[in-house]
Amino acid sequence: MHDIVNAATNFIQLDAINMTYLFLVGFVGGLVSGFIGSGGAFVLTPGMMSLGVPGLVAVASNMCHKFPKALVGSLKRAKYGQVDVKMGIVLGISAEAGVLYGAHIQESIKKAFGDAGSNLYVSVAFVVILAVVGGFVLKDAWKTYKSGTTNDEEKVTRLAKWVQSVNIPGTMVYFKCLNARISILFTIPLGFATGMLAATIAVGGFIGVPAMIYVLGAPSLMASATELVIAFVMGLGGSFKYAMHGLVDIRLAMIILGGSLFGIQLGAMGTTYVKPFVIKVVMGVIMVIVLFSRGLMVPVYLAQLGLIGKLGETTVKALKSTSFAIMIFALAMGAFIVLRSMWQGRRAEREAIAKGVLEHGKV
């Protein structure tokens, strides 16, 4: 606790450059979150640390910007009929338990193996989960694109059909996004995994959204919008916990929020212009690029733990900078796809309206 208090008193000095940087990263992170339900945190936390913010304060401040952002985003997307509040709350509560357990595992690993062990655990979790889930999401999006069925109704997976067919009396709940009753015994482990991932790599949505789509059978648009409710529930609980220990730097959180509220509105509007498979494309692309970013850091931590030969200082520096640059690239790439799809969608709509005016002679 003493360390925590020391860390908390170590709130950094803010200058105009720092604030602009945080505002801009917040904007891009918000844009992606509004679209796919999560994202941004994987750049924001290391981004704040690179400004000299202690790790725990960075995590806490990131969380304190996440829940109000998710609230605004989910309200916006609820207007478009994309949010299943009940599913969000049910998953969010079990995710909260996952966050607490994930944080406990992190602490145990840190105690046993030190900072390098903890960092290695985070990086390996990043690489393995993003490779499996990200690869699957991207492959599915590619398959849809190649088959020319991007306009068709999304197909419910065989696994989701099975989940929806299982009847366990006393546990069945109707969810709007599935238009079916499923047992909450299926949602609890999924929410828990989402929370654990959020506590480990800061982006629970990389599990939550694909789980809702492929395991429960929710449409992509509703899954990504509902993820914002989960992020709100998780973020509110987490922020309060960190604030109790005096770890939230509200200035950082609010500056990032300032940018991300511009972004999240835009990202949420973007979902009304695109075909559902674009959600999977953005999510898959970000996940796969981030995977390479974290993969680069694995040798650094292995060397720190003495599991491989020592790396030169220049090599370590080069790997760290490249890893961070790739992460920023991942976020920028996601934002680019979102803006491009939105631009194309708006243009197509304007052309359709103009055509309608010409054909029907209406002014």
User: Which residues contact another protein (rule: CB under 8 A)?
Assistant: 5, 8-9, 11, 14, 64-65, 67-69, 71-72, 75-76, 79-82, 153-154, 219, 221-222, 236, 239-240, 243-251, 253-254, 257-258, 261-262, 265-266, 268-269, 271-273, 276, 345-346, 349, 353, 362-363
| Closer by beta carbon to another protein, 14 or else 131 | 14
Residue 292 has a CB neighbour count (10 Å cut-off) of 17
The residue ranges of DSSP E strands in the chain, in sequence order, are: 172-175, 180-183
- Helices and strands counted in the chain (H then E): 13, 2
| Closer by beta carbon to another protein, 72 or else 287 | 72
> Cβ 278 to another protein, closest distance in Å?
13
Residue with tokens 């966050």: 99
Contacts of 259 (CB under 8 A, 6+ apart): 22, 23, 24, 25, 26, 27, 28, 29, 30
> Cβ 164 to another protein, closest distance in Å?
16
* Nearest partner of 88 among 206, 271, 227, judged by Cα: 227
> Cβ 107 to another protein, closest distance in Å?
18
> Cβ 76 to another protein, closest distance in Å?
7
| Closer by beta carbon to another protein, 317 or else 355 | 355
Contacts of 180 (CB under 8 A, 6+ apart): 164, 174, 217
| Closer by beta carbon to another protein, 6 or else 167 | 6
| Closer by beta carbon to another protein, 32 or else 300 | 32
C-alpha distances out from residue 100 to 3, 6, 39, Å: 20, 23, 20
Residues 205, 194: contact at Cβ < 8 Å? yes
* Nearest partner of 208 among 183, 233, 173, 176, judged by Cα: 233
> Cβ 257 to another protein, closest distance in Å?
6
| Closer by beta carbon to another protein, 318 or else 354 | 354
| Closer by beta carbon to another protein, 62 or else 293 | 62
| Closer by beta carbon to another protein, 269 or else 302 | 269
C-alpha distances out from residue 188 to 78, 90, 192, 321, Å: 23, 8, 6, 38
Residue with tokens 């370590």: 316
C-alpha distances out from residue 146 to 75, 139, 140, 196, Å: 34, 10, 10, 34
**Helix 220-244 vs helix 184-201: crossing angle, to nearest 10:** 60
> Cβ 153 to another protein, closest distance in Å?
4
d(CA 285, CA 237): 30
| Closer by beta carbon to another protein, 193 or else 225 | 225
> Cβ 99 to another protein, closest distance in Å?
16
> Cβ 250 to another protein, closest distance in Å?
5
> Cβ 255 to another protein, closest distance in Å?
8
Tokens (6 digits) for 140: 């599915």
